[in-house]
Structure 1
Amino acid sequence: MGGITMTRRVDLLNFVKGKSQCTVFPFGKIVTGGRLWTPVLSILQDAKQTKILYRYLFTFKHDLIMHSRDSKVRAHCVRNFAISKPVWNRTLGASQNLNRSVKAERSLVEVINRDNRTGRTADNGFVVFMEKENEYFHDYLSNTIQYKPFFFPGCRNEDTFKSSTDSSTNLDQMLNNFNSTKISQDQLLSILKELTCLPTKQHLNLFLDPNFHQLCKCLLSQLTDMSNKAYFESMETMSRFNFRQCITSDLRDLRIMIAKSYDQENIARISDWDPRQLLLVADFYFHLRCSSMPWVGYLKRMFSTLFISKILGQLGNEEIVTLLLHVGLARQIGERELNDAVLKICQQIDSYTIEELGIVSLAYFKTNKPVKNTLFQEKIAAKLNSCIKDVEPICLSAILKCLQKSSNKIWMRYRPEMLQMMIDLQPSLSLRMSSLTPQTALHVISIFHNFKYISEKLISSFSVKLTHDDLLEWRFKDMALAVRLLAELSECFPNKTEILDRLTDELMSAHRESEVTSYLDYLARFLLGMAMAGVYSVPLLKWLFRPDSLAYFADHKINVYRDLYQLSESVRIECPSYSGPLLSDHLVKAQSKKSYICGRMPRIAVNNPGDGEVVNVSKRDQMMLQCIRALEWVLGGQQHLWVDFLLPHYQTADIELCTHFSQRKDKTGGLLSDPFDSEVCSTDQRVAVLLYAENAYYSLIRADGSVSHVLRGNYAMKRRQLKHLGFRIIEIPFYEFSQLEIEKKYEYVLNKVKLAEVLSKDYVNKLVLPTQ
């Protein structure tokens, strides 16, 4: 028990129970007071054997994490109480009067408690998830022998958690005795090199020292006078400090000051450097965490079309991969220059590792450019197939993101072998789903959803992950995407209600409040996905449609308003119990003037198709035109059908059968002539003919290997809402209709109308199929 008796344990239990009525972190105050650190830790180590005490300690788990500065207590709580590591970061350091050492400790704690899988940190009151791709691929190259010449050594990662008992050796004396007016370049660099030998834990303390700031300013003032050798030596020295962990505002200013001073000098010297030196300087920005900063002029110059075209011919294989690593970090390069670089890689692509191809893939994805090199696509797909069981999740995610960015319908029609290679990945990915990070798992599902080919096993493994995964691992935008994918594939999720309830509870928890408030566009996607699945959360809907929340979308792109409009109208139809605010008609009209919130009519003479062929239209419009002609014959005239947006919040028009004279009016406002009489029409219901094009379905690969067409969630919601409004539905899917000959299409439409029982049997039996 670590020296604590049962009596003391019971006393502490009673003390904790007595404090349970406190309103402000009762147990956290006990821990931070320093009085019970050792006994608490001792009890924690034996807590699982003392079930009653464990239950009470579990009640105060968040308070322990939020306030404890004892790393052992935090680590044990995280390990044995399943407490998220960054939870305590959100409140630690609330006091504005922390001294220098406490500030440094706070910064260090944010570093130590960053999640190993997702890189979570606390910022502005909510959890921020930091991408680990950059660190992973940078470490891979910088630790590979042939790539080392293009990278600075950086700080010593093995010292991050080293004890710093001797870290104060003459540190204050060194800095206090520093005289900037009498020091030479060599002496200055010598002092800095000596400081880099301190454990990296001590660097955060160092960065807050005013004397160290003065030392850095002295170095920056001498950059212009340095020789090229001394200049690179200074960059190598500065890269050894732990600047990548300067993630708080009070530490960020120092590295930004250093980066900007070097940036000015780098621009002046860039034309004198060879490719190796150019890549070294780019690596310096990585160590200062400034690779993607918009003000970095050196990288803009380096990745400019003229400069890249000039140096590309001088680069070997290693230089090109390193260059593309920095392209991904900086997120900038021209599409032509990127494709030219990858073209050189494709000449020897079989010799590259999966990690190197992952770096190239990430460059495509981060610069938002599709892969047009079909050889590269095929080779990385084949490479991924050969090592799918062993590839690291981060590398897997990078490649899938690249392929997803480049995927389109052409793959299915003109490159069946490529599609098959991707489909062959699904069994192995299903087995690995539980061990993948949330982001990688989402990319796996997304890419196959884009291809419209997905297996039952893959969906099942994703369902299990959503049911059992720790939702603290998930970013808000990941949850929004997960809900959208679940809604699109909802017919294959038997436990969708359980999953949606779980995600909703997580989103409504207190620790997500600031995150949700800051990213309301994700909330709109999340709620629209739930609506597609037929589930509505009244509290979240009220939150989204508040006037102050809608003001958030003032400068957003039009597709956000389409989502809001579709969600608002769906609530009106399917959630009558909701009594809160919705999107106003005034706001819809105002946005409609800027762009089309609603859909556009198809490019055919929809209400007067005639007999001539219509060219240059989509396959769905061609399908609609053929269906209109068949319906005109069935109904006995054009006046009995109408093409319109039956649901104004949808982007596609459908056909309504005018089976009763009171349903439609002509342009003058009068009733349409020639209505069906009771002998012809057997229903007073409005009848909707829904045309489902190829894009409305995805192909579900069953466990027995068979493939079936499953309607996507957005179209299923449309059908559901029309039924709710009282429509009788006739559905015409492409895979049944498009393959038929002309005369068969007339017969097919007639049979659909018969099954809907829209027309009287006597009228239908008199119809004779037209001869072609």
Structure 2
Amino acid sequence: MCAQRLWPTVQALGRGLINNRTEIIQQGVKAYNVQNFNNGHLGQGHQQSHVVGHDCFSTTQRPTHTVRGSFNKVVTRSLHSGTVFFVKEFCDSENEHAHAILRSLPAYHETTVAGDSVLNHSFYQHAVQLSDSEWARCSPEEVANGFIAMSQLCRHRPMDLEESQHSGLCNTLSSKLTQISDNQLLMVLSALSLWPPTDGTTTPNFVVLWNALDQACTERMRRWDMGKMFLVADHWFALRLSRISMYNVRMTKILGRKVTSMAPTQLVQYLFYANLSRKLEPFIVKKEIEKRLTEVLELISIEELGVIAMGFFKTQTFLEDEKLIEVIIKKTKDDLEFVSDASLCAILKLLRKSVPVTQWKLLHELLDSLQPHLDRLNNMCLLQVALLGNDLLIFHPQVIDTIASKFANEMTVLRLKDIERITFALMLYNYVPPSQPDMFNLIAKELRRPERLLEINHYPKCFVSCVVYLMTMGLLPQDLISAALQPSMLNLLKMSRNYTSMGREVNELDWTLDIEGPPNYRGYRLSREMRTQLTKQYMGNLPTGPSKNLTHQERLLLEVKDKLAALLGGLHLITITHALPHIQNPDLIFCTTNNGDPVSLPQEYLGLAPTSLKCPIEHIGGVQWNAVIVAGRNSFIRNSDTLRGNIDMKKRQLNKLGYHVSVVPYMEYTRKSLRAKLCCLERCLNEGSTLDTSGRLDNAWVVLKGQAERQEEING
């Protein structure tokens, strides 16, 4: 939906563009370097510039491309789904690690299958090749045993399941699966994994077999006990068909009604298969599964907790029981010396999305405990540590500095996603690591490496986000910005439903060029029409109407406006507007004389279009322009007075335009008496504005007090 609004709906670029998108970054940057542009994407008066270290995006190498897949991905077949998948190596290793944990514990040996010991039966000596009609005359047991023997032969002489000579066997077996025993059914399921992968899940022989097996297993499921159901599910995992098989979906649904009575190991294994299907049935009462987890937590290992955490996170099921969260954090802290990186990753992901603001100190304490272990953790785990406090704005400078320093030294081996996430964390905390003061320049340099081109074009969102975060921190690399704003990059972003939020980011990037960009910038720009469209789409509303229909931030803004108007001498002396049209929340604007006395805002300013950049009007002499940022509850790093990165950027850009900027912190302003609120505003204005506040506080208190008393009389 957002992607359709982001740009006009047009036909996707087509297979040819997708197959050749490795060249997109090169094309855009080459255009940047040679001044060969579409004039519709250029701002007025922009000239080519040469900024040392900024316009050096390489265009000399042309990497080869694959038909599908990308840099730092692995080309792999599902073990026997027969499909070539381009999957993230870490995602595969997560599931493999979780399964290895189960296999390593005796309690799971009867309900899991080892990858290297599938079907340890020597049938292959009896493998025979019969004609289609001969297979049709065999009994169901003979057909099943014939397929098992032929499958075992593949270990010694690999064969193609899709060869015509196997069609009769596959079709006959598929039609007779309902007549074989449960044990033979399981052996056939195992045998299928011994064949070399086919070209896809829908190749004729393979699709007939696995669909028939899927149906047969699903129909028999209800007569099996939980252990048997898990064992069959594990064979589907060995085939790498868990995501698309009906069996796994149906099994997790049926067993979901028995969560509260599951033994500890059963709960762990159940959540492993739920992870594979990426779904936890909605009828499962979260309180019940959390209650059961609380009861069994002391009976499972930290590695099994990692399997459980992965199941919750992958199914987007997050914890609400604060006592359970506290116990999980304690168990994690106690076992940090023994937990594997993959399990710790899963636990940290779950905690990041589960811990409420009321428990933020527990996360900070966990970061304290993690600090001595950072040197031994791998990069993927370090990234999760860096992101742990993001949702609650919990900042641990020593931890972030250590991780940033390690990432700086290993930049070339990081995934683009890892670079984007660590850049986001640094931007969020508005933090320049003291151990790596040039961190952002290192990131920009890495984005320019020719080796990154293929990866960038497969993950354009990560690239554009990195550029936006660098911009937020005040670094504007012209070549990277031009590459991010080129039409072919915008088309790539538009083609993916996962990139629906990127319109806001590219809009911010383009507006920032007007405010902070070099006057001689000659790179790509958004067209005027596109920028106006995006600005209208993402610009927040100016708060009006009944308080019950407003957000917390909007109510706070209106309240501060009323108090500030009383300090100035009337509502006509102040306005709420989007001085920066690319930022959602509006600000308060007022003017003073050079002596600090309030003066009415010029009508010329008030008449500016809502989507325009509202600069102070320079030709009106003797007027000082002031902006007041009402910094809401998420504007500051937790337990500090440090503005988060994008709010600090807002302040910086208002200053750049010529405003004197004051910041009203919600934590000081809220929950105070009227006089205390006015004192807070007075202090903020004295620090940032040109208003002479002498004697104004008492007058404002009298006015506001009278207004409150009259309102009480009206309300009766």
TM-score > 0.5 by shorter chain: yes
Question: Bigger shift: 639-648 or 209-218?
Answer: 209-218
Counterpart residue number, 2:369: 428
Match of residue 490 from structure 1: 430
Within 1, Cα distance between the matches of 2:270 and 2:608? 67
Does 1:152 pair with 2:102? no
Work out whether residues 429 and 644 of structure 2, in 8 Å CA contact, stay in contact via their aligned partners in 1. Answer: yes
Could you say which residue in structure 2 is the equivalent of 1:292? 243
Root mean square deviation of aligned Cα: 4.0
Shift of 1:519: 2.3
Point out where structure 1 has 5 or more consecutive residues left out of the alignment. 1-89, 95-108, 113-121, 160-168, 606-613, 671-680, 700-706
Once residues 711 and 434 of structure 1 are traced to their aligned partners in structure 2, the CA distance between those partners, rounded to angstroms, is 29
Pick closer, same or farther for the CA change 1:668–1:731 going to 2, 3 Å: closer
* Alignment pair present for 1:709 and 2:641: yes
Q: Which residue, 270, 273, 298 being the options, matches 2:221?
A: 270
Q: Distance in 2 between matches of 1:586 and 1:764?
A: 47
* TM-fit CA distance, 1:273: 2.7
Q: Which whole-Å CA distance do the structure 2 matches of 1:302 and 1:170 have between them?
A: 30
Decide whether aligned partners of structure 1 residues 431 and 547 sit closer, same or farther in structure 2, where only a CA change above 3 A counts.
Answer: same
Cα distance, 1:382 vs structure 2: 1.6
Give the aligned partner of residue 539 of structure 2.
598
Matched, 1:523 2:471: no
SS of the residue 1:698 aligns to: coil
Q: Among residues 457, 460, 485, which one is paired with 2:398 in the alignment?
A: 457
Between the aligned partners of 1:365 and 1:682, the Cα distance in structure 2 is 59
Does the 8 A contact of 2:481 with 2:509 survive in 1? no
Deviation digits for residues 131-187 of structure 1 (CA, Å, limit 9, x no counterpart) = 311111111113322212222333349x9xxxxxxxxx999x997856565465666
Aligned-pair distance for 1:717?
0.8
Q: Does the CA contact (< 8 Å) of 1:528 and 1:563 recur in 2?
A: yes
Q: Distance in 2 between matches of 1:381 and 1:693?
A: 29
**Structure 1 residue 365: Cα displacement:** 0.8
Displacement of 1:281 in angstroms is 2.3
> What are the residue-to-residue correspondences of 1:628-667 with 2, within 5 Å?
628-659=561-592, 663-665=602-604
Matched with 1:693 is 632
State the distance in 2 between where 1:537 and 1:655 align: 31
Equivalences for 1:406-421 in 2 at 5 Å?
406-409=354-357, 412=358, 416=359, 419-421=360-362
Give 3-state SS (helix, strand or coil) of 2:576's partner.
strand
**Deviation for aligned residue 1:583:** 2.8
Aligned positions of 1:101-500 closer than 5 A: 130-156=91-117, 177=129, 181-182=133-134, 219-239=173-193, 241=194, 249=199, 258-293=209-244, 296-304=245-253, 307-308=254-255, 310-312=257-259, 315-337=262-284, 339=286, 340-409=288-357, 412=358, 416=359, 419-472=360-413, 474-494=414-434, 498-500=438-440
Q: 1:662 to 1:430 in 2, by over 3 A?
A: same
TM-score normalized by the length of structure 1: 0.69
1:128–1:538 distance in 2 versus 1, CA, 3 Å = farther
Rounded Cα–Cα distance in structure 2 between residues aligned with 1:751 and 1:422: 33
Between 141-150 and 337-346, the greater mean CA deviation after superposition: 337-346
**Which letter does structure 1 place at the counterpart of 2:587?**
D
TM-score normalised over the length of structure 2: 0.74
Query: SS of 2:627's equivalent?
Result: strand
Task: Write out aligned runs for 1:533-572 (5 A).
Answer: 533-554=473-494, 556=497, 558-572=500-514
Is the 1:175–1:212 Cα contact (8 Å) retained in structure 2? Answer: no
Shift of 1:392: 0.8
Larger RCO (CA under 8 A, 6+ residues apart): 2
How far is the alpha carbon of 1:212 from its aligned partner?
Answer: 6.9
Q: CA 1:236–1:491 in 2, change beyond 3 Å: closer, same or farther?
A: closer
Matches within 5 A, 1:35-54: none
Report deviation, 1:454.
2.3
Look up the equivalent residue of 2:513 and give its one-letter code: V
Q: Give the 3-state SS of the residue equivalent to 2:634 in structure 1.
A: helix
Question: Residue in 2 aligned with 1:502?
Answer: 442
Fraction of identical pairs, as percent: 21
What is the CA deviation profile of residues 533-552 of structure 1, one whole-angstrom value per residue up to 9, with x for unaligned ones?
A: 11223233222222222223
Query: 1: distance between equivalents of 2:290 and 2:157?
Result: 39
Q: Mean alpha-carbon deviation: is it higher for 323-332 or for 138-147?
A: 138-147
Change in 2 beyond 3 A, CA 1:717/1:598: same
C-alpha offsets along residues 398-442 of structure 1, whole Å, 9 cap, x if unaligned?
A: 111111122343xx2xxx4xx333322223322332433333222
Any idea what SS the aligned residue of 1:658 has? strand
Structure 2: state its 5+ residue gaps. Answer: 1-62, 68-73, 78-83, 593-598, 610-619, 706-716
Call closer, same or farther: CA 1:393–1:586 in 2, change over 3 Å. same
Q: Does the C-alpha gap of structure 1 residues 733 and 766 become closer, same or farther in structure 2, counting only changes over 3 Å?
A: closer
Partner Cα distance (1:535, 1:460) in 2: 19
Contact 1:488–1:532 (Cα < 8 Å) also in 2: no
Q: Distance in 2 between matches of 1:507 and 1:714?
A: 22
Offset, 1:689? 0.7
Task: Give CA-to-partner distance per residue, 1:371-419, whole Å, 9 cap, x none.
Answer: 223343222112112112221111111111111122343xx2xxx4xx3
User: In structure 2, do the counterparts of structure 1 residues 268 and 669 end up closer, same or farther at CA, with 3 Å as the change threshold?
Assistant: closer
| Aligned partner letter, 1:385 | K
Partner of 2:27: none
1:327·1:363 contact (CA, 8 Å) conserved in 2?
A: yes
Distance 1:289 1:255, change over 3 A: farther
Deviation at 1:232, TM superposition (A): 1.7
Q: What is the CA–CA distance in structure 1 between the aligned matches of 2:478 and 2:411, rounded to whole Å?
A: 25
Is contact 1:335-1:369 (8 Å) kept?
A: no
Does the 8 Å contact 1:203/1:242 carry over to 2?
no
Partners of 2:89 and 2:442 lie apart in 1 by 21
Secondary structure of 1:656's aligned partner: strand
CA–CA distance in 2 between the matches of 1:452 and 1:725?
Answer: 29
**For residue 694 of structure 2, what is the amino acid of its counterpart?**
V
Which residue in the other structure is 1:32 paired with? none
Give the deviation of 1:696 after TM superposition.
0.8
Q: What's the counterpart of residue 704 of structure 1?
A: none
Query: Which residue does 1:61 correspond to in 2?
Result: none
Cα distance in 2 for partners of 1:374, 1:191 equals 56
Task: Say whether residues 1:729 and 2:669 are aligned partners.
Answer: no
Q: Report deviation, 1:309.
A: 5.2
Q: Offset at 1:588?
A: 4.5
Q: 1:597: how far off?
A: 1.1
In 1, the alpha carbon distance for the partners of 2:176 and 2:404 equals 59
* Aligned residues of 1:346 and 1:376 also touching (Cα < 8 A): yes
Question: Contact 1:476–1:515 at 8 Å: present in 2 too?
Answer: yes
**CA shift at 1:291, angstroms?**
1.6
> Cα deviation per residue 1:648-696 (whole Å; 9 max; x = unaligned)?
11111111113355644598899xxxxxxxxxx9962321011212211
Tell me the distance in 2 between the aligned counterparts of 1:539 and 1:203: 55
Structure 1 residue 269 displacement after superposition: 2.8
CA shift at 1:504, angstroms? 3.0
Query: Which of these residues, 687, 694, 699, is aligned with residue 764 of structure 1?
Result: 694
Shift in alpha-carbon separation, 1:329–1:123, aligned structure 2, 3 A: closer
Does the aligned pair in 1 maintain the 2:408–2:436 contact within 8 Å?
Answer: no
More moved, 394-403 vs 261-270: 261-270
Counterparts of 2:241 and 2:123 in 1: how far apart (Å)? 31
CA contact (8 A) 1:683 1:759 kept: no
